[in-house]
Structure 1
Amino acid sequence: MNDEKFNDDRGFRVHTLRENVKDRALRWISRTIALTLLLLASGCAMVGVRHVAQKDYATQRRSDVLSARVLSDSTVQSLNVIALNRDECAANFVRCTNTLLYSDGLDDERRLSALAELWLAFAIQSDRAKQGETISDTALDAYLQSARYAYAYLFFTARRPGERVFETRQSQVLNFYNYATQRAVANFFKLLPKLGTEWDTTSVAGWRLLKPSSDVYLGSGDRIPHDLIPAEGLRFSGLRNSYRRDGFGSEFVAIGATPSNAGPWRESNYVPVTAVLEFPGDTLQSVLDTRDVRVHANNPYLDSTIALDGQTIPLAANFTAPYGVWLAQSGFAQESLRSLFGRGGLTKPEVLLMQPYDPNRLTVIMLHGLASSPEAWINVVNEVMGDEQLRRTYQVWEVYYPTNVPAPVNLMQIRKALDETLHHFDPSGRAVASNHIVLIGHSMGGVIARLLVSSSDDKLWSIIQERPNLTGEQKQKLRQRLAPYFQFEPMPQVTRAVFLAAPHRGTPVAQWKLARWIGGLIRLPLTLLEEGKNIANAAQGKNTEPGTPLRIPNSIDNLSNEDPFIKASSTLPISPNVRYHTIVGVYKSKGPLAESDDGVVPYVSAHLDGADSELSVPSWHDVQETPQAIIELRRILRLHASLLRCLWQDGASELDPGKPACTASQP
């Protein structure tokens, strides 16, 4: 009995001991958990760290509502400071923006930049308009709110834009402003036809739109374009580079009506425009309170800055976009081929101004080659207009002419078109644009360019086959009829020329079977055939009655090294007042340079004695498109401008090729 009791007591004690151990363990665990929770609750949490890849770091710093369709880290952090988050702002946008606007927990820069992004996010979400449609008032109001807060951040906070120039946040806010401006201005533009010209203010989406301020001129003579294309989203194939100027404002291509003038000139009706939204006010609060907005439409060729809030701000610009859109919509490639084979298209030369006429810029005139068009100068013109120094100094004109007619006819008609264009824009001939012109010609255009600066004297009359026994009166009539084609003097306005792959002495390629076959397909204008018939009859002393036109040489015939006109004209002297340069392609080299060619034109035909410079480029015949040729053209244009500055400083009126007015450094 006693043994049984002992065993029972021992079992009870063991059981009790186990229970005690278990209880103590549970209490320890409970205390540990409680202590951990207490530590976490008291803010003594452990901090983890991890490395972020370089690309992820850059993405996180730069991501915003425009680049990634998410709020930027800066805006999210600003919301965190005032106990808000993205979800709360999405659920109650008005409460979120009001809390942000009136909270004392943020300085002006953080508050305004966050508001600019939040309103832009709301605008993008509300903007359901398809291309060409008017956006809703809700979206338009949000874009204007975003632009206004960005405008206030940039100009009405303690620091000026120049003090934040290296800050990512300012770049983001500038992008918010420019994009909001783009959408708002594109929408305003659609309202202009309804408003006409006799208005000062109008109401739009709860805002008072003040009449725009603009110095934009379109070639049609209008100042209101019929189309306005945002340049930001445009990308071009065929153009090697795209030239922009970073700055303030939104970039557009303004397209005017097609000019309907009777002359041979055509001013550019594709022009760059930089739009700026101004919110009137003298203080931060007045800007935030205003519901007025004014559009400034600036011509970036004339304006590189804009004055806002007493500050001079650099203007953004896109100089490539108008040129690219113009070329893309021109249809030059098809038209030039139709013209070559006499199937319609161009019949007379046109002088195309790449920007509205500017009397204070020097003029560069470019002439394309056979079966070509202004598209031959795609990258040349873009590189000239993209170079800031050259853009400030020059304007580019392109001569677009039918390449099926004989060289003497084209020469006469191009000279007439240029003379009429110069006289139209500058009757007195005293403008900077009318003097010290630079001619640049490629291939057949180079041949014509050389003749435009040459003197014919009496050297071309020898190619006219006239009957020996013509009377004096008959010879005089024949010379009068032929004088426009065979009697000419250099253009006095031109003082420099560049010839690229120009067959001054012709090319044997024009005699190849394929070239003769193509030449046989070329049709000349009927009026030219009749003129050829009349000239041929006059040369024989016959009456000039209508009849079956005789075959006269076409443009391919004139490019032959056996052509009488080419042979005679290649010896004509270039004006002593003109400095000239040659650029030749070397595609096939048989040893010495003199034995090379560009696949079409032999070096000996493209070379000219007395040139200021000659550059040979490893290239096929289209040498004008090579980077080396473009760099050389830019060098020549810089040199030309530099010498002219010296000339004008010395008070001289003529540029003596042998004695520069002063020493000019060659860029």
Structure 2
Amino acid sequence: MSVSTNDYISQRRGDILTTGEMSSAVGVALQVAGIDEKQCRNIPQECRKQVANNIGIDDEQRMSALSELWLQEALAMDQKINEGALAEDVLNAYLESARHAYAYLFLTQRSPNERALEDRQTQVRDYYNFAVQQTVTRTFNHHQQRLQESIDPQGQFAITANNWSIHGQLNEVRLAEHQKIPEQLIPASSLTFKGLRNQYRRDGIGAELVAVSAKRVVNKNSREEAFSETPFPAITAVLRFSGDTLEEVLNTQEVELLGFDPYKRNSVRLAGNQVPLAANFTSGYGLWLARSGFAKQSLLTLVGRGEVLEKPRVYLMQPYDPRRRVIIMLHGLASSPEAWINVANEVLGDETLRKNYQVWQVYYPTNAPLAFNQHEIRKAIKETLKAFDPEGQNRASQDVVLIGHSMGGVLARLLTSDSGDNFWEPIVKTYNLEGERKEKARKKLHNYAWFKPMPEVSRAVFIAAPHRGTPFAENRFSRWFAGLVKLPVSMLGRITEIAQLLVDPSSANAAPLTRPLNSISNLSDQDPFVRLAADLPIAEHVPYHSIIGNDTPDLSLQLSSDGVVPYSSSHLAGAQSEKVIRSWHSVQETPAAIVEVRRILHEHLHDTNGVSYVD
């Protein structure tokens, strides 16, 4: 009789977690022990006792069967917790499942490496990881106050729960706002995200979790700070049971709970075995995006509604790591860090890039003029680097990579350029600045008309960037929309002061400010600022790359456009590479563009003698 593929896999690998039924391995163990499976379901405590005491079952069979039987008990009680089942009893069942899985994996005769290709070991590893996940989340969610009271400055804590002594340390986990413990731990497996093409994780031991230290990405109480570490870092938790032998582990009521940053640690030592540490590299980033509210706010802030964004803010996608170089991403007009949803995720999904880079994203008011944003973004980046590395000696403070899309690409270019007097001299000439008026204007414009390349940056990637502006900003709709753009009050005050200095009402030849000072007008190919900026020299030590969309394949390359920005505006002579991709303006989210970004980052790592580090 033939067996279907599904039935074959179910018979071989089906278990309490995948099918809700006990595995065939447990069935074999029960048969050897002379226990009826139905009777085992009806009297689970007696069943486990008989399995534990039967001399006809070897340690591997016994430990794996008991782990699955305890997990069955925990899952069954979990469903009845609203019907009177005690939360402490459920926690105990999960701890027992984790204990017996731990014993099977590390304290039976064969090592994990000797069982590497066996289905049963994979199943038991999953029992351990799931039981740890449930134990840790329940411990934190139900005993948060006790944990908060017991944890010391080194991140060590100790509590008791249902005769278990649970102690541990979280010193390897860095939480935002200097919190000692998370407010909540969310299993990564329970999270799904729209818009993310892939979820990246690493198989291994431990529960993959997201540590929640705030409900929102933007904390109203800390808006004055230039940066924000993610309030949703990914962590991996393991349980280590006291004892060096199988007998000692089976008789202990002490367990150590350890939390690790999976970006910094690849493996963990348990019972003398160095084993891979499980990790989920997408969950924390996905939750950060889901709770950011950026999609709704980015367009509202452009027209002065919603939560007004006064100045740029740097968001760290992972807890700061001094050993990793920094990639800074700058979004475009009426956009937000959500524009990088798959670019950032794919960078984090590349193991070599993940070991050597950390991603920062800048959220800035896209209604502001380019000159204002370049100064404020430059200031925010420098303040962030200085906050973590005052002496500028860390690897993270050197060889920074800027990646900018659309208007963000223009800003990235300004951050790597030398203005000289290219802006000041035309201003003096246009507005007839002389004497005291000229000196006052010089002081007011100091931060906006003069700038140097950021020394921390050593590579830039410009994606669909209108370096020479775009005629799109001159069409009827764009001009109408430019009239709706509202600047933050603080910025409007500065612009008004500058305008009053430039325009001399007493002069018969006074030149008026004929264009509104906002981002949309700034991106026009007729705008004086962007036309002057197009000829600024990029720092010699900064290789730069162009990624350009082409939505008009029937036209010659020189006449082509991505639907918003013409090729002639995005093209930069001297680029180390130029990649033209069949795409509309949002080319940064295409697979081809993401592949190119990853290639450039690998090249940067090679050129700057970057060496991967491991724990």
The two structures have a TM-score, normalised by structure 1, of 0.86
2:154 aligned residue: none
Q: Distance in 2 between matches of 1:75 and 1:368?
A: 54
State the SS of the aligned residue for 2:465.
coil
1:427 aligned residue: 390
Q: Distance in 1 between matches of 2:434 and 2:302?
A: 38
Tell me, yes or no, if the aligned pair for 2:428 and 2:438 is still in contact at 8 Å.
no
1:621 aligned residue: 585
Q: Distance in 1 between matches of 2:611 and 2:37?
A: 65
- Cα distance 1:468–1:281, how it changes in 2: closer, same or farther (>3 A)? closer
Q: Distance in 2 between matches of 1:391 and 1:138?
A: 40
> Quick one: which amino acid aligns to residue 263 of structure 2?
Y
1:490 aligns with 2:441: no
1:595 aligns with 2:552: no
- Cα distance 1:331–1:603, how it changes in 2: closer, same or farther (>3 A)? same
Q: Distance in 1 between matches of 2:148 and 2:541?
A: 51
2:193 aligned residue: 236
1:610 aligns with 2:537: no
| Displacement of 1:624 | 0.5
- Cα distance 1:223–1:599, how it changes in 2: closer, same or farther (>3 A)? same
| Displacement of 1:59 | 1.6
- Cα distance 1:96–1:134, how it changes in 2: closer, same or farther (>3 A)? closer
1:186 aligned residue: 137
Tell me, yes or no, if the aligned pair for 1:341 and 1:522 is still in contact at 8 Å.
yes
1:571 aligned residue: 535
1:272 aligns with 2:234: yes
Tell which has more relative contact order, 1 or 2 (C-alpha 8 A, sep 6+).
2
Q: Distance in 2 between matches of 1:273 and 1:333?
A: 26
Tell me, yes or no, if the aligned pair for 1:231 and 1:253 is still in contact at 8 Å.
yes
- Cα distance 1:591–1:154, how it changes in 2: closer, same or farther (>3 A)? same
| Displacement of 1:465 | 6.4
2:289 aligned residue: 327
| Displacement of 1:471 | 3.6
1:363 aligns with 2:315: no
2:254 aligned residue: 292
Tell me, yes or no, if the aligned pair for 2:431 and 2:502 is still in contact at 8 Å.
no
- Cα distance 1:467–1:597, how it changes in 2: closer, same or farther (>3 A)? closer
2:267 aligned residue: 305
| Displacement of 1:268 | 1.3
- Cα distance 1:177–1:556, how it changes in 2: closer, same or farther (>3 A)? same
Tell me, yes or no, if the aligned pair for 1:174 and 1:248 is still in contact at 8 Å.
yes
2:480 aligned residue: 517
Q: Distance in 2 between matches of 1:440 and 1:561?
A: 22
1:196 aligns with 2:148: yes
Q: Distance in 2 between matches of 1:182 and 1:598?
A: 47
1:88 aligned residue: 39
2:278 aligned residue: 316
Tell me, yes or no, if the aligned pair for 2:74 and 2:93 is still in contact at 8 Å.
yes
> Quick one: which amino acid aligns to residue 390 of structure 2?
P
> Quick one: which amino acid aligns to residue 448 of structure 1?
L
1:222 aligns with 2:170: no
| Displacement of 1:591 | 2.9
Correspondence for 2:203 among 243, 246, 249: 246
2:2 aligned residue: 51
2:20 aligned residue: 69
> Quick one: which amino acid aligns to residue 397 of structure 1?
W
Tell me, yes or no, if the aligned pair for 2:356 and 2:611 is still in contact at 8 Å.
no
| Displacement of 1:293 | 1.2
- Cα distance 1:263–1:213, how it changes in 2: closer, same or farther (>3 A)? closer
| Displacement of 1:536 | 2.2
Tell me, yes or no, if the aligned pair for 2:464 and 2:549 is still in contact at 8 Å.
yes
State the SS of the aligned residue for 2:295.
helix
> Quick one: which amino acid aligns to residue 576 of structure 2?
D
Spell out the pairing of 1:359-398 with structure 2 (5 A cutoff): 359-398=322-361
Q: Distance in 2 between matches of 1:467 and 1:391?
A: 50
State the SS of the aligned residue for 1:275.
strand
2:88 aligned residue: 137
- Cα distance 1:285–1:153, how it changes in 2: closer, same or farther (>3 A)? same
State the SS of the aligned residue for 2:7.
helix
> Quick one: which amino acid aligns to residue 272 of structure 1?
A
| Displacement of 1:196 | 2.7
The 10-residue stretch of structure 1 (429-438 or 241-250) with the greater mean CA deviation from structure 2 = 429-438
Tell me, yes or no, if the aligned pair for 2:241 and 2:256 is still in contact at 8 Å.
yes
> Quick one: which amino acid aligns to residue 144 of structure 2?
L
- Cα distance 1:470–1:367, how it changes in 2: closer, same or farther (>3 A)? closer
Runs (5+) with no aligned partner, structure 1: 1-49, 544-548, 649-667
- Cα distance 1:594–1:271, how it changes in 2: closer, same or farther (>3 A)? same
Tell me, yes or no, if the aligned pair for 1:501 and 1:585 is still in contact at 8 Å.
yes
Q: Distance in 2 between matches of 1:407 and 1:469?
A: 23
1:120 aligned residue: 71
Q: Distance in 2 between matches of 1:332 and 1:394?
A: 24
> Quick one: which amino acid aligns to residue 274 of structure 2?
T
State the SS of the aligned residue for 2:177.
coil
- Cα distance 1:551–1:514, how it changes in 2: closer, same or farther (>3 A)? closer
State the SS of the aligned residue for 1:576.
coil
1:101 aligns with 2:65: no
| Displacement of 1:461 | 2.1
1:580 aligns with 2:544: yes
1:464-514 CA distance string (max 9 Å, x none): 266776542321221121121111111011110000000000111111111
Q: Number of aligned pairs? A: 593
> Quick one: which amino acid aligns to residue 332 of structure 1?
F
Q: Distance in 2 between matches of 1:597 and 1:430?
A: 43
1:413 aligns with 2:376: yes
| Displacement of 1:427 | 1.4
1:168 aligns with 2:119: yes
1:361-395 CA distance string (max 9 Å, x none): 10111100000000000001101111111011001
Tell me, yes or no, if the aligned pair for 1:589 and 1:595 is still in contact at 8 Å.
no
Give me the CA root mean square deviation: 2.1
> Quick one: which amino acid aligns to residue 298 of structure 1?
F
1:293-312 CA distance string (max 9 Å, x none): 11111111111111111111
1:143-202 CA distance string (max 9 Å, x none): 111111100000011100011110000000011111111111111102032343436543
Correspondence for 2:101 among 112, 127, 150: 150
1:177 aligns with 2:177: no
State the SS of the aligned residue for 1:236.
coil
> Quick one: which amino acid aligns to residue 331 of structure 1?
G
- Cα distance 1:450–1:129, how it changes in 2: closer, same or farther (>3 A)? farther
| Displacement of 1:342 | 1.0
The 10-residue stretch of structure 1 (183-192 or 497-506) with the greater mean CA deviation from structure 2 = 183-192
Q: Distance in 1 between matches of 2:251 and 2:235?
A: 29
1:210 aligned residue: 167
Tell me, yes or no, if the aligned pair for 2:238 and 2:257 is still in contact at 8 Å.
yes
- Cα distance 1:506–1:136, how it changes in 2: closer, same or farther (>3 A)? same
Q: Distance in 2 between matches of 1:419 and 1:134?
A: 55
1:436 aligns with 2:399: yes
- Cα distance 1:198–1:567, how it changes in 2: closer, same or farther (>3 A)? same
| Displacement of 1:128 | 3.2
Tell me, yes or no, if the aligned pair for 2:77 and 2:85 is still in contact at 8 Å.
no
- Cα distance 1:169–1:646, how it changes in 2: closer, same or farther (>3 A)? closer
Query: Identity of counterpart residues, as a percentage?
Result: 48
1:26 aligned residue: none
**4+ residue stretches of structure 1 with deviation over 3 A?**
128-131, 197-201, 211-214, 257-262, 465-471, 540-543, 549-552
| Displacement of 1:280 | 0.8
1:283 aligned residue: 245
1:633 aligns with 2:584: no
